[in-house]
Chain A
Amino acid sequence: MNELTLVEAVRLALARALEDDPRVILLGEDIGVNGGVFRATDGLAARFGADRVRDTPLAETAIAGIAVGAAAHGLRPVAEIQFMGFLYPALDQLANHAARLRNRTRGRLSCPMVLRAPFGGGIHAPEHHSESFEAMLAHVPGLRVVVPSSPARAYGLLLAAIRDPDPVVFLEPKRLYRSVREEVADDGAALPLDRALILSAGDDVTLVTWGAMVQEAREAVERMATEGVLVDLIDLCSLKPIDRATIRRSVAKTGRCVVLHEAPLTAGLGAEIAADLAEHCLTDLLAPIRRVAPPDVVIPYPRLEDQYMPTAGQVVGAIREVMEFS
């Protein structure tokens, strides 16, 4: 079978979608001949034509607005924002229009678009190239926010996002673009869009994370196993809607929970997960919920970036704390 990197899996899913559905078009800066700055669309313009794999002028508001208009009029646009740090100008179109068009027309018009963007730090990129403000997007009613954490999940979730009848923001953890390989079958099978995945099962503590942080989480899980602590590791996959049932079920079993994210602490998604558990699982909890997340700072320039990124060691520390609490 086919061992692919995450960026190759993204490309495979895009090619599959272009092949299967004539309504699908790709839009973005440098995605044509150049194949995108991360090469996610490499070769697609040659294969599907410059009309369907379209280089746009440099204009993020317009990229998002064009996707809204084209989606409302029958296409299935998949737009790329080069880096998440440059997504802010697209927020207006996403929040004010993409997320609302179906609702404000009572279903007369809809917006089946995908906005893809590489996100997150850890690759020592220049300023504004390492942000992770997924919580801002997840806060917008009417948007789905999806984050894969492996090549196979990137393939299946991206196909699901493209086939979904509503707008989806698809955030690609760029630290994982080339650092992990996995078998990916080009079978056209989509994954469900609102289900979290349990990556390892354990009865002692629940660890919830998503995206690139799944790597740190896995390392922590292995280290805890050597101490005889078994972790239920949940990859959220969908940040909106959140699969609360899976998290609650796990915590009902373990009584302890650590949430790990790369985005700053305050009003991050860890807060939502912790609040949900406090509302629904209080009597199951044996220890306070711990969040492992950077403080509320701007992600540093590359030389201090490692000071910012959460580590497996911090996760291990948090797990030990909740284990020792009672």
Chain B
Amino acid sequence: MARFDFGPVRVLDQAGNVETTLPGFARDREALARHYRAMVLTRQFDTKAVALQRTGRLGTFASSLGQEAVSVGVASAMRDQDVFLPSFREHGGQLWRGVTLKELFLFWGGDERGNDFSGHRMDFPACIPVATQFPQAAGVALAMQAQGTGGVAVPVGGDGATSKGDFYEAMNIAGAWALPVVFVISNNQWAISVPLAAQTRAVAISDKAMAAGIPGGRVDGNDVIAVRAMMERALERARSGGGATLIEAVTYRLGDHTTADDSKRYRNEAEVSAHWKAEPLVRLRAHLVQEHGWTKEEEETLQRSCREDVETAAEAYLATGLQPPRAIIDHLFESVPEDLAQRFGEAGYE
């Protein structure tokens, strides 16, 4: 029943050769270059964020190294009226949706203002409690259905998240009510130290869709073209009243779980280096070089411009002053309850 696509489906092989037919958008050099830049920018951001954390200037950070294509491909298929509900590892998608680099730094630097972000104002901030974004996405979808906005809710979570009840409850309801949701699982094969084989006996995470009676698709998450193509189909299905879809994007977490983690404790280097061969940036660059004559100069210019953007944003973040002390009570409710204001004063904060 209901296998949207099994595979994982991919368009480009690891060397960047076209394996199947290219979807329309992927024939356009500019479009491909935009996806490529988004992935490079994400990786540069990642590198800088880790460096800032290591030097005590950023909080604990979750790197998305190796998973950039999932995030970018998912977001690039979305439209303005859609709503993104990312986990904590979807920097690429957030950037694509208009969150600025400075806002991402602020969030990871421990400042709530990073979540009062530019771009798509109805998008959710990164979700920290694993899998809780899935039922919320069903709620957003219910609202959009009621309002007739034609929007689709897109929650993204990890492989570990699919062990939680929230994930099943949300998929089940989205199925029962034919809600416009595309559930995306960025399967990086690890949940901190727990490998996928210890997480579930399911052959494919996309098969978990069967329990909810919705289609599940499986895509090579290191192939941004394939990710976007499958997303577009699922989004179209949702938009035309066809209901929810589950997409499993198979990728690999090349870095530690977070800057507070040391993955050498539980996985060997050989496994990691093997996966470096399949990483998404090299693949798209090879394709650009082979099919579109992407030059060395273009590559250098792009890398430099991404680096400059990241450096400028990091400086702007580091130069951002603290919020005033009152900010801890000002945003809890629309208007501060008397009791809270009084207690704040009494406790000697002011």
Chain B positions 120-143 with a Cβ under 8 Å from a chain A Cβ: 121-122, 124-125, 128-129, 132, 134-143
Within 8 A of A (CB), among B77-130: 83, 85, 112-113, 115-117, 121-122, 124-125, 128-129
Say yes or no: is B75 at the interface (Cβ < 8 Å to chain A).
Answer: no
Does A102 make an interface contact (CB < 8 A)? yes
Which candidate, B17-25, B162-170, B237-245, B312-320, is the interface stretch facing chain A?
B162-170
In angstroms, Cα B172 to Cα A62, docked, is 9
The answer, yes or no, to whether B211 is at the interface (CB within 8 Å) is no
Q: How far is the CB of A325 from chain B (nearest CB, A)?
A: 28
Residues of A within 8 A of B134 (CB): 65
* Per-residue B-contact encoding for A173-188, CB less than 8 Å = 1, 0 else: 0000000000000000
A244 vs B142: C-alpha distance in the bound complex, in angstroms? 39
Contact across chains for A62 and B116 when beta carbons are under 8 A apart: no
Whether B331 contacts A106 by the Cβ 8 Å rule is yes
Give the Cβ gap from B153 to chain A, nearest Cβ, in Å: 7
Nearest residue (CB) in B for A51 is: B146
The docked-state distance in angstroms from the alpha carbon of A56 to that of B169 is 11
Known: A105-B112, A141-B332. A62 touches B143 (CB 8 A): no
When the two chains form their complex, are residues A62 and B169 in contact, meaning their CB atoms are under 8 A apart?
yes
> Most B CB atoms within 10 A — which of A65, A141, A166?
A65
Complex Cα distance A241/B169, Å? 32
Q: How large is the interface on B (under 10, 10 to 19, 20 to 34, 35 or more residues)?
A: 35 or more
For B142, give the chain A residue with the smallest CB separation: A70
Q: For the complex, is A68 an interface residue (Cβ under 8 Å from B)? A: yes
**Quick check: is B144 within 8 A (CB to CB) of the other chain?**
yes
Binding-face segment, B273-281, B282-290, B299-307, B333-341: B333-341
**Residue A208, interface by CB 8 Å:** no
The answer to whether A59 and B116 have CB atoms under 8 Å apart is no
A25 touches B135 (CB 8 A): no
Closest beta carbon of chain B to A129's beta carbon, Å? 22
B146 contacts A72, C-beta separation under 8 Å: no
A67 to B137, CA, bound (A): 10
Known: A108-B116, A241-B337. A102 touches B140 (CB 8 A): no
A313 within 8 A of B: no
**B120: min CB distance to chain A, Å:** 11
Shortest CB-to-CB span from A52 to chain B, Å, is 8
- Enumerate chain B residues within 8 angstroms of A165, measured Cβ to Cβ: 333-334
A106 touches B116 (CB 8 A): yes
Q: Tell me the nearest residue of chain B to A72, going by C-beta.
A: B140
**Residues on B with beta carbons closer than 8 Å to the beta carbon of A245:** 338
Does the CB pair A69–B113 fall under 8 Å? no
Give the Cβ gap from B214 to chain A, nearest Cβ, in Å. 14
Q: B196 at interface (Cβ–Cβ under 8 A)?
A: no
- Smallest CB–CB gap between B145 and chain A, Å? 9
Interface size on A, residues (CB 8 A): 44
Using Cβ atoms and an 8 Å threshold, which residues of chain B touch A65?
A: 132, 134-136, 138-139, 166, 169-170
Contact between B132 and A106, CB atoms less than 8 A apart: no
Please report the C-alpha to C-alpha distance between residue A70 and residue B153 in the assembled complex, in whole angstroms: 11
Is B136 in contact with A57, judged by CB distance below 8 angstroms? no
Find chain A residues with CB under 8 A from B124 CB.
Answer: 72, 109
Instruction: Say yes or no: B140 contacts A69, CB within 8 Å.
Output: yes
Q: For residue B85, which residues in chain A have a CB less than 8 angstroms away from its CB?
A: 69
> Cβ of B115 and Cβ of A104 under 8 Å apart?
yes
Q: Within the assembled complex, what's the spacing in Å between the Cα atoms of A110 and B141? A: 16
B147 CB–A CB distance under 8 Å: yes
Cβ of B204 within 8 Å of any chain A Cβ, yes or no, is: no
Shortest Cβ distance from residue B246 to the other chain A in the assembled complex, whole angstroms: 16
**Contact residues in A for B144 (Cβ distance below 8 Å):** 73
A contact residues around B165 at 8 Å (CB) = 61, 89
With a CB–CB cut-off of 8 A, which chain B residues contact A69?
85, 135-143, 153
Given contact pairs A66-B135, A69-B142, A104 touches B334 in the complex (Cβ within 8 A):
no
Q: How far is the CA of A106 from the CA of B113 in the complex (A)?
A: 6
B31 within 8 A of A: no
Inter-subunit contact A96/B146 (CB<8 Å) = no
Partner of A73, one of B117, B139, B172, B176: B139
A102 to B334 alpha-carbon distance, docked (Å): 8
Given known A-B contacts A69-B153, A110-B334, A141-B332, A92 and B139 have beta carbons under 8 A apart: no
Query: What secondary structure prevails in chain B residues at the interface with A?
Result: helix
A68-B136, A72-B136, A107-B116 in contact; A57/B143 too (CB < 8 A)? no
**Contact among A70, A71, A73, A194 with B122 in the assembled complex (CB-CB below 8 Å):** A73
User: Is the C-beta of B173 less than 8 angstroms from some C-beta in chain A?
Assistant: yes
Task: Check if A242 is an interface residue, CB within 8 A of chain B.
Answer: yes
Give the CA-CA distance A57 to B174 in the complex, in Å. 10
A141: B residues at CB distance < 8 A: 332
Q: Which residues of chain B from 140 to 159 have a CB within 8 Å of any chain A CB?
A: 140-144, 146-147, 153
User: Which of chain A's residues have a CB closer than 8 A to the CB of B138?
Assistant: 62, 65-66, 69
Task: Determine the distance from Cα of A105 to Cα of B119 in the docked complex, in whole angstroms.
Answer: 14
Q: Which residues of A contact B121 (CB under 8 A)?
A: 108
Also in contact, A92 and B129, with CB within 8 A (given A62-B138, A102-B331): yes
Give CA–CA (A65, B323) in the complex, Å. Answer: 30
**Does A75 sit within 8 A of B, measured CB to CB?**
yes
B112 touches A59 (CB 8 A): no
| A-chain residues with CB within 8 Å of residue B333 when the two chains form the complex | 102, 142, 165-166
B166 touches A70 (CB 8 A): no
Chain A residue at minimal CB-CB distance from B135: A65
Cβ contact within 8 Å between A70 and B140: yes
**Complex partner residue of A70 from B116, B117, B139, CB under 8 angstroms:** B139
Q: How far is the CA of A56 from the CA of B141 in the complex (A)?
A: 15
Whether B136 contacts A66 by the Cβ 8 Å rule is yes
Q: Answer whether A104 and B173 are a contact pair too, CB < 8 Å, given A141-B332, A166-B333.
A: no
Given contacts A69-B142, A73-B83, A166-B334, contact A61 B129 (CB under 8 A): no
In the assembled complex, 11 residue pairs joining A and B whose CB atoms fall closer than 8 Å, in A order, are: A61-B135, A65-B134, A69-B136, A71-B139, A72-B140, A97-B136, A102-B331, A105-B125, A106-B115, A108-B117, A110-B334
